Every structure is written in C-alpha cells, then in structure tokens.
Homo-oligomer: A and B are copies of this chain.
C-alpha cells in the first residue's frame, strides 16, 4: 500500500513494566506500524539500546515525516532533577532518560509517565474530551493515573504526581511493591482480581475458577475476567469484590477532585461493567452527595493501543501540531 500523501507522523513508545511497544502514529491517531518486545533487557544500557533500535526501525517504517518521539514510561519522573526518580519494573531509576534518549536518537523527544500520557489522550481525543476536571485510572498490574483540573493537566511540582495506585486505603494494610502500606493498587488492580480469584477458587468447589486452578492454570486477572464473561459465578464474585474496592478509592477521588469524569483504562477494563458497576454503586452511596452525583465513571476509549497512542499524543502536543 502506498500512502497517497505523506502524512505527518510521530513515534509513540509505550515503555511498560513487562513489554515495550513502539508504534508509528499518524495525525488521526491511527497506528500504522507496531514493533513489540519484552522490556526485560537486562541493564539500563541494554534497555536504552533496544529502545533506540526499535525507534530507528519505526522511523524507517514511517510513511511520512516524523515530527518526533513520545515516550510514556512506567515510572515516576522528577522533572526538577531531569531524571526518572523511580521505576520498580525497569532499570531506569536515577537515569536522565530524556537527555540520554534525545542525544541517542537525534530527533525531538517528549517523555512523561504512562498514566499521564493515557490521561492526555483520553482528555484530548477520548472519553474525557472537553472535561475541565477528570481523573484517569489505568488499572492493570498496578494502578496508574492522570489528572486534569481547571482545564489543564496536573503533574505536581516535580512531575511525579497522579500516583493514585499509591493512595493509602487501608491504614495498617498490606505492603506495596513501593515499600508503603495499604495502597489502592494492592486492593483494586488487575492483580487484585487475580488474588480475589485465587481466594474464591479455594472456596467455590465446582466453579470454573476452581477447575482452572485444579488444572494448574495460573489464576490471573485476565483468566478470572474470561471466566466471568463465560458466566462463572465465582469469577463474577471476584470481580465484584475488586470493583467495590475500586469504588472506595473513587470515593476519595470524587471528594477531592469533584471531577466530571473518572476514566478507567488498563488491562482490567476488559471486565467492563462487571467491574465498573459495583464501583459506581459505591460512589453513589458513599461520596459526598453533590460530588457523587456530578461524576461519571466511564471506560477509556483507547484500548490495547492506549500506551502508544498516549505517547504519540504527547509527542504531537509538545513537538508539533496536535
């Protein structure tokens, strides 16, 4: 296929804890070309090398001019120090990522946290379009997030905010991967659906969930979701339990941000209203009256390509025409 007109493109890089996904994205946010690999590349240099190669390959494959490269990184940025301050699943803590990557690639680049890039894409082009106040939750292995308030994105004083997964929802709760205790992502993430599934498999003999566990299948959030969609009661119950926990954190979000929208993306949104309806019920019952009434809880519009599209949106916004 030959493009009739060479379109302006950017490269969007979804730099997640388990996979690297690089895409060529055009101005209508179509993903023209994808390159995917594991993000387990050993040390920092290995990861940066692999990223550099993937982006070079994507630039080659682009049908038109490439304005630049956007990165959505699973890590906490410190824009004051010019580095990634923490990244539990990637060897990037303390790395001046933007400077190193910009030098290596020789094209304009833009870097942000992946929750922030997802929020940006949903706000400019997706489920939160036109909102003055919105919160994004990316519910997967953990919970990432993004904030729009007063019609602008909020990243905090050093660019590291919107870490909703690390809200304290249980004062003497379980230890989180970050070292803190009682954090939202322990109770309400995709992984939490897997853990709820394990508990329910043990107490629900005869369920599809119990059978799957007995066959030695790993009880993940994805498996529980699949079985729930097939009608397995134990699996549905696991998702409802986690949906309620998700809703309790949303009560805080409604009471603090008074947003028009809470947009839910990430892998766990595959559970759809099975997950969101219990959350909506909790918010309707538990949030301060006018705040609970004013908020809609909706799924993200961008699905499997959300990471690449978010990173591409960042690049279009910061480096070229949006």
Contacts and interface: CB of A to CB of B under 8 A. Distances in A.
A166 to B, nearest CB: 4
A119 interface: no
A16 interface: no
A286 to B, nearest CB: 4
Interface string A50-93: 00000000000000000000000000101011000110000000
Max chain B Cβ within 10 angstroms of own Cβ: one of A132, A147, A163, A288: A288
Contacts of A178: 288
B160 A78 contact: no
A286 B179 contact: yes
A41 interface: no
A205 B248 CA distance: 39
A161 B85 contact: no
Given A166-B288, A288-B166, A259 B181 contact: no
A291 interface: yes
Nearest to A154: B149
A248 B180 CA distance: 10
Contacts of A170: 169-171
A251 B80 CA distance: 20
Given A187-B171, A249-B168, A85 B160 contact: no
A144 to B, nearest CB: 12
A252 interface: yes
A158 interface: yes
Nearest to A178: B288
A159 interface: yes
Given A156-B133, A170-B171, A252-B167, A86 B290 contact: yes
Contacts of A181: 286
A256 interface: yes
A25 B229 CA distance: 63
A103 to B, nearest CB: 23
Contacts of A171: 169-170, 187, 245, 248
A32 interface: no
A84 to B, nearest CB: 9
Given A157-B133, A187-B171, A163 B255 contact: yes
A181 to B, nearest CB: 7
A256 to B, nearest CB: 6
Given A150-B154, A168-B249, A258 B289 contact: no
A287 interface: yes
A257 interface: yes
A258 B180 CA distance: 16
Interface string A171-196: 10000001111100001000000000
Closest 10 CB pairs of A and B: A156-B258, A85-B290, A161-B258, A166-B255, A167-B252, A133-B157, A163-B255, A180-B286, A149-B154, A78-B290
